[in-house]
Chains A and B, each alone.
Chain A
Amino acid sequence: MSTAVSSLARSAAAPATRRGRFRYHRLLFHVTATLVAALFLAPLVWVVLASFRTPAESTQPPLPPWPTEGFSISSYERLENFGQSVLHYSGNSLFVAVGTSALTILVAILAGYGFSRYRFPFKGFAFVLILSTMMIPFQSILTPLFLLLAKMGLQNTLIGLVFIYSTLQLPFSVFMMRNAFDAVPKEIEEAARMDGVRGVRMLVQVMGPLVLPGVVTVGLFAFLNAWNEFLAALVLLTDQSKFTLPVLMTAVRYGRYGSVDWGAVQAGVTLMMIPCMILFLILQRSYIRGLTAGAVK
């Protein structure tokens, strides 16, 4: 009680200076936050701007950050001439990323539904088994994966990568989907069952729309992780025509004749980053939900 009184007395004594200080603090806060934001954005903006410089200018130091000798897409054209066309490699990356998303979504919906709605033998064990893959780094099983894919005829194929990336996504995705199904009231299912909806139709037509946010989150994570993954792609893809963008770009980075085409590197980095950023900006909410799902629980 005494504290309440003293705080009342304090706020009554000096309302004006307090408000003034508050404003000053707010200004300081926004100035700092904006400066930090500029630091975070600078490299991204920089590389995108630099990728549009003329060939002569791309061998110059990067100050000022914008193209001064006019706008040019020659960096992209030079990248186009590296190996097969860059569209081909983007296609590879896109195939792997979309394939991973599709397979992950399909498998995670089924598993999430199974774990949420059914009781079956070894259920706990199966769930722990899937989650436990998170505890063991895939980097430590890369060597046998290499041999295993060779045995299965999947070595040096994009499909092989899709399987591996999907497996890596499973602990997160199955967990996410199980929670999504758990959040759907049982009454909705029962009502639909009364109307004669069963099995796959129940899953697709009734449950599907209700767990869509979870599906989007799972798909987004799968897409971004597959699009950006580097080590497995580097190890498992030996044929240059199969390279995904990150693997291709390391080849560009080391240069063909000892000299590195920095313009092409900038263009490639831009090409790799822009789709991720656009996807994130559109689906921000889904991404953050996925990230915080583990933290808040």
Chain B
Amino acid sequence: MSDGIVAGADAPPPKKRRRRRHSQWTGLIYVLPALALVTVFFIVPLCMTVWMSLHKWPLMGLPRFIGLDNYERLLFDKSFWSSLWFTVQYTVVVTIALLGFAMALALIVQGQGRAVSAYRTIYFLPVVTGFASAALLWVWLSNVDTGLFSPLAQDLGLTEGRVNILANFTPAFWSVIVMVVWKMAGFFMVILMSGLQSIPADYQEAARIDGAKWLQRFRYITMPLIRKPFALALILCVSGSMLAFDQFYIILSGGPQNKTVTAVYKIFNESFVSFRLGYGAALSMVLLVILLVLSVLQLTLLSDRKDK
């Protein structure tokens, strides 16, 4: 399809005048397929989300315009706000855990050498597995009968007898956190590592000569100089975690006691389980705005500090 478009661009133009106009637009023709995809599968649905959120939109039957009723309803929808609150809690915990862990890993793998590059590869390996595979793997390991964690906890004397760690909120929540850290730490490790490696070795050397301790060098040289990659990691981590779905759907199915329903999970339930598409769209709009505000906020906060 796009081959045809490009071939058309090369056809010799009949007149000189046409030629100048033609060449002015040639670039646009190359970009057109990408613009078409973005328009059809992104811009249009985005506008539709706004439109749908103003309607009562069942799967069957005709949508009915109801203005801002959906938004009014979500203001008083306790289950939505609690899902959002849970998502925020999860995001805070997982971001601290992930970035802390990733930073430690980055310090391990920033050097050269065969062993170090082997560590790098191994730490990164879980990243390339999907969230679905990692979550399924975790379901098996957490399973009370044939899993690993239950007998392990028993052997370590943490519990008496078998215990289903997915049945109670706290152990279930932390089990997901551990899974996500295991799966994603390598990803943020690489981003932070690239920052560490871009710091000229002289800086650290100079500080060492001046008698700066490891922690001081980390605080006053390393951290300020990797602010940019760190900001990137932070933004990716926060926005990614705010959109968490796979792991909670697959491992916990929202349980125990519906306490682990994330925002995206709630939207999924409204739209594709209860088929309240309009209401789902309104919830999506709220999430979208929150994420936009968060990204802008993080970007400005982190870039401001850098300028000083």
Q: Is the CB of B41 within 8 A of A228?
A: no
A130 within 8 A of B: yes
Q: B74 interface residue, CB < 8 Å from A? A: no
Distance in Å: Cβ of A171 to nearest Cβ of chain B: 9
A123 to B24, CA, bound (A): 11
Q: Which A263-287 residues have a C-beta within 8 angstroms of B? A: 265-266, 268-269, 272-273, 276-277, 279-281, 284, 287
A3: which of B33, B37, B209 is its contact (CB, 8 Å)? Answer: B209
Q: Is A62 an interface residue (CB 8 A)?
A: yes
CA distance A36 to B190 in the complex (A): 16
* Chain B: CB-nearest residue to A250: B250
0 or 1 for each of B239-270: is its CB under 8 Å from A? (1 = yes): 10001011001100000000000001001100
In the complex, residue of chain B having the shortest beta-carbon distance to the beta carbon of A43:
B137
Query: A residues 116-170 with Cβ under 8 Å of B?
Result: 117-123, 126, 129-130, 133, 135-148, 163-164, 166-167, 170
Asked whether, in the complex, the Cβ of B139 is within 8 Å of the Cβ of A140, the reply is no
The yes or no answer to A174 lying at the interface (CB within 8 A) is: yes
A200 cross-chain contacts in B, Cβ below 8 A:
3, 6-7, 10
Determine if A101 is an interface residue (Cβ-Cβ < 8 Å): no
**Cross-chain contact A167 with B232 (CB below 8 angstroms):** no
Assuming the contacts A4-B209, A288-B190, A295-B195, asked whether A143 and B126 have C-beta atoms less than 8 A apart, the reply is: no
Contact present for B131 and A230 (CB under 8 Å): yes
Q: Which residue of the partner chain, among B41, B119, B121, B191, contacts A164 with CB atoms under 8 Å?
A: B41
A43 to B141, Cβ gap below 8 A?
yes
Q: What is the number of residues of chain B that contact chain A, defined by CB distance less than 8 Å? A: 96
B136 contacts A140, C-beta separation under 8 Å: no
A48–chain B nearest beta-carbon distance, Å: 10
A78 to chain B, nearest CB (A): 15
Known contacts being A33-B108, A163-B41, is A170 close to B34, with CB within 8 Å?
Answer: yes
Give residues 5-38 of B contacting A (CB, 8 Å): 6-7, 9-10, 24-35, 37-38
In the docked arrangement, what's the CA distance between A287 and B191, Å? Answer: 12
Find out whether the CB atom of A230 lies under 8 angstroms from the CB atom of B26. no
Residue of B nearest to A108 (CB): B34
In the assembled complex, the Cα of A148 lies from the Cα of B250 at a distance in Å of 27
Question: A265 vs B288: C-alpha distance in the bound complex, in angstroms?
Answer: 34
Q: Provide a sorted-by-A list of 26 A–B residue pairs whose CB atoms are within 8 angstroms.
A: A3-B210, A3-B211, A7-B209, A32-B108, A33-B115, A40-B125, A40-B186, A62-B146, A114-B29, A119-B27, A120-B28, A136-B292, A139-B267, A140-B291, A144-B49, A163-B37, A200-B3, A200-B6, A228-B131, A253-B250, A260-B143, A262-B143, A269-B133, A280-B125, A292-B190, A295-B194
Q: Which residues of A contact B (CB under 8 A)?
A: 3-4, 7, 29-30, 32-34, 36-37, 39-41, 43-44, 46-47, 50, 58-63, 106-108, 110-111, 113-115, 117-123, 126, 129-130, 133, 135-148, 163-164, 166-167, 170, 174, 198-200, 203, 224, 227-231, 235, 246, 249-250, 253, 260, 262, 265-266, 268-269, 272-273, 276-277, 279-281, 284, 287-288, 291-292, 294-296
